[in-house]
Chains A and B, each alone.
Chain A
Amino acid sequence: MLIAGKACLILVLATSLYGIAASLYGARTGRREWVASGRRAVYAVAATTALAFVILEAAFLRSDFGFTLVTTHSSTTTPAFYRATAVWSSQEGSLLLWLLLLSLWSSLILFLTRRRLREIAPYATAVLLGFAVFFAAVLVFLETPFQQASPAPAEGMGLNPLLRHPSMMIHPPMLYSGYTLFAVPFAFAVGALITRRLNADWIRGTRPFTLAAWFFLGVGIVLGARWSYSELGWGGYWAWDPVENASLMPWLTGTAFLHSVMIQERRGMLKIWNVSLVLATGVLAILGTFLVRSGILDSIHAFGASTLGVPFLALIVTMIVGSIVLVASRASDLRSDHKLDSLLSRESVFLLNNLVLVAMCFVIFWGTFFPLISEAITGEEASVGPPWFDQYTVPLALMLVLLSGIGPVIAWRRATASNLRRNLLKPALAGLVVLAVLAALGAASEPAALLMFGLGAFVLAAVSQELWRGVRARRAMSGDAAPRALVQLVRRNRRRYGGYLVHAGVSVLFIGIAASSSFQDEKEVLLKPGQTATVGAYEVTYVKPTADLKAAPNGRLEKIDFGARLRVTRDGEKVADMTTVKSYFPSLAPFLGPISRFFEGEATSEVGLQAGWRRDIWTAIAPDIGSLRPRIEEGDKVFSGANLSPEQRDAFLGQALTGLTRSYANDPPPATFRLIVSPMVTWIWIGALIAFLGGLIALWPPPRGARSRVTAGYAAKVGREVRIPA
Chain B
Amino acid sequence: MDPSRKRKVRFVVALSVAVLLAGALVYTSFSASSEARTPSQLMTSSEKGKVYKLTGKVEPGYTRKGTTTYFRVRDRAGKGSVPVSYDGTLPDPFREGREVIVSVRRQGEGFVGEKGSLITKCPSKFTAEQNKT
Contact = CB atoms under 8 A, between A and B. Distances in A.
Interface of A: 89-91, 94, 160, 162-163, 168, 224, 228, 232-234, 236, 239, 241, 243, 292-293, 295, 298-299, 306, 339-341, 343, 355, 359, 362-363, 366-367, 370-371, 374, 378, 380-385, 387-388, 391-392, 524-526, 582, 600, 602-605, 620, 622, 624, 626, 672, 674
Contacts of B18: 355, 359
B121 A298 contact: yes
Given A224-B129, A339-B7, A622-B89, 6 more contacts: A239-B132, A241-B132, A363-B25, A383-B34, A383-B53, A672-B67
Contacts of A674: 88-89
A524 B68 CA distance: 10
A91 B125 contact: yes
Contacts of A370: 29, 33
Interface string B70-107: 00000000000000000111111101000101010000
Interface in B3-29: 3, 7, 10, 14, 18, 21-22, 25-26, 28-29
Contacts of A234: 89, 91, 116, 131-133
Contacts of A391: 28
B29 A384 contact: yes
A233 B88 CA distance: 11
B45 interface: no
Contacts of B10: 340, 343
B124 interface: yes
A162 B66 contact: no
A232 B121 contact: no
B34 A626 contact: no
Contact of A228 (B25, B101, B127, B129): B129
A305 to B, nearest CB: 8
B51 to A, nearest CB: 9
Contacts of B32: 384-385, 387-388
Contact of B7 (A340, A367, A620, A624): A340
Contacts of B130: 241, 243, 298
Interface of B: 3, 7, 10, 14, 18, 21-22, 25-26, 28-30, 32-36, 53, 55, 64, 66-67, 87-93, 95, 99, 101, 103, 116-117, 121-122, 124-133
Nearest to A232: B131
Contacts of A524: 67, 87-89
A383 B104 CA distance: 13
Contacts of B128: 89, 160, 162-163, 168
Given A524-B88, A525-B67, A299 B36 contact: yes
Contacts of A620: 89
Contacts of A378: 30
B36 A385 contact: no
Contact of B55 (A299, A380, A525): A299
Given A299-B36, A384-B32, A385-B34, A162 B131 contact: yes
A298 B101 contact: yes
B92 A605 contact: yes
Nearest to B124: A160
A339 B5 CA distance: 12
Contact of A383 (B33, B89, B127, B129): B33
A624 B69 CA distance: 12
Contact of B92 (A233, A381, A382): A233
Contacts of B95: 600
Nearest to A674: B89
A162 B122 contact: yes
A70 to B, nearest CB: 15
A517 to B, nearest CB: 13
A387 to B, nearest CB: 7
